[in-house]
Amino acid sequence: MVTAMTDTTKEKQMTDQRDSINDRVANKESESNAADNRSSMDDIHKNEEFDIEINGTVGKPFVDNVKMSSRNCDVFYGDKQAIFDVNVDIGNHEILAMIGPSGCGKSTYLRVLNRMNDTIPICRVTGEHKLDGEDIYSKKMDPVLLRARVGMVFQKPNPFPKSIYDNVAYGAKLHGLVRTRSDLDDLVEKSLIRAGLWKEVKDDLHKPGTGLSGGQQQRLCIARTIAVDPEVILMDEPTSALDPIATALIEELMIELSGKYTIAIVTHSMQQAARVSNRTAYFHLGKLVEVNETDKVFTNPEHKLTENYITGRFG
């Protein structure tokens, strides 16, 4: 509850930049409810801005040029259902941003896409999830291969306690992608250049990756991910721990990378979603409320809940 509250406060600050303060005071109560989520349903019912019925996803969740898709996705943690019937496509070479209040299931959904939820014993995923038409939850799909094809960048930069070089080289070595030492050197250099980190670290490749600053660490993690050359990159709030300058660098990087990769990003910053993504998906209490072109979501949302969220009526 306490952490959830802090998250809401963070979001509040972000939306603050755009919205008047007056609006927010009236909705203070609903903010705390958003954090409290399902545990205090009674309170929520009092807030009309928050409590609007969701009848399926509005907007355009499906695209023609599909890279990954989910149909009837439900996720349970033990007896508790975290995600309710999500249907969405992620198009080739697009950036899909997922926004929504804390605890709405957007990170959980992201982890469905590379089966990271497998590591949580009580977590159960149902529905049909496809990568290039292949079922990623079928017995034939090896999670190791899937995660090599669908890379992930985490919220907190998590470089290995090894040198910068070894961090980037790890995935390639793991999968046997390179044969010679010089190929590996080239791959490390290329990945670091693409992650925009090469200039800063090219003389310190054998220094520990954990000695870098937060923003550099996160770019190192991105370099590590793209060194494996995945088809899709999932980013779980990749800039939430970074300052605005590092954030800007990573956002630029995302736009650059989208030429080659398909990217799905979870973010708490609506400006970030607006800046980088092609399409935006709004999650609410485990349900996918609206998916639309990013411009449309932020200028003319179809669903009332989306509008309430992006205008900062609740966090």
Partner 1 sequence: MSKQYKNTDTIRAGLKKRYAREKRFQFFGIASIFISFLFLLVLLVNIFSQGYPAFQQTYVKLDVKLDGSVIGVSKDSSPEELFKASYGKLIKNTLKEMFPGVKDRKKKRALKQLVSKSAAYDLRDKIIENPALLGTTQSFWFLAKDDVDVFMKGDIDRTLPEADRRIKDFQLKWIDKLLAENRLEKRFNTTFFTAGDSREPEQAGIKGALIGSLLTMLVTMALSFPIGVLAAIYLEEFAPQNNRWVDIIEININNLAAVPSIVFGLLGLAVFIGFFGVPRSAPLVGGLVLTLMTLPTIIIASRAAIKSVPPSIREAALGLGASKVQTTFGHVVPLAMPGILTGTIIGMAQALGETAPLLMIGMVAFVADVPQGILDPSTVMPVQIYLWSDSPERAFTERTSAAIMVLIAFLVVMNFIAVLLRKKFERKW
Using CB under 8 A, list all residues that contact partner 1.
Answer: 114, 116, 119, 121-122, 144-148, 151-152, 154, 156, 158-162, 170-171, 174-175, 208-211, 221, 224-225, 228
Output b/e per residue, 233-264; b: 16+ Cβ within 10 A.
bbbbbbbbbbeeebbebbbebbeebbeebbbb
Beta carbon of residue 121, minimum distance to partner 1 (angstroms, whole number): 5
Closest CB to partner 1 among residues 100, 159 = 159
Parallel, antiparallel, or unpaired for β 232-236 and 150-153? parallel
Beta carbon of residue 128, minimum distance to partner 1 (angstroms, whole number): 23
Closest CB to partner 1 among residues 212, 285 = 212
Beta carbon of residue 123, minimum distance to partner 1 (angstroms, whole number): 12
Closest CB to partner 1 among residues 119, 182 = 119
Closest CB to partner 1 among residues 106, 115 = 115
CB count, 10 Å around CB of 182?
9
Give alpha helix (H) positions in the chain: 2-16, 21-26, 28-36, 41-45, 106-112, 143-149, 164-175, 181-194, 198-201, 214-227, 244-257, 270-276, 294-299, 304-310
Half-sphere exposure of 102 (CA within 13 A, CB side): 20
The answer to whether 267 and 237 have CB atoms below 8 angstroms apart is yes
Beta carbon of residue 208, minimum distance to partner 1 (angstroms, whole number): 3
Beta carbon of residue 46, minimum distance to partner 1 (angstroms, whole number): 36
Closest CB to partner 1 among residues 13, 138 = 138
Closest CA to 236 of 126, 130, 98: 98
Q: Which two tokens stand for residue 252?
A: 């630029």
Beta carbon of residue 149, minimum distance to partner 1 (angstroms, whole number): 8
CB count, 10 Å around CB of 310?
21
Helix (H, G, I), strand (E, B), or coil: what is residue 180? coil
Beta carbon of residue 110, minimum distance to partner 1 (angstroms, whole number): 11
d(CA 261, CA 195) in angstroms, rounded, equals 13
Angle at which helices 214-227 and 181-194 pack, to 10 degrees?
Answer: 130
Closest CB to partner 1 among residues 73, 222 = 222
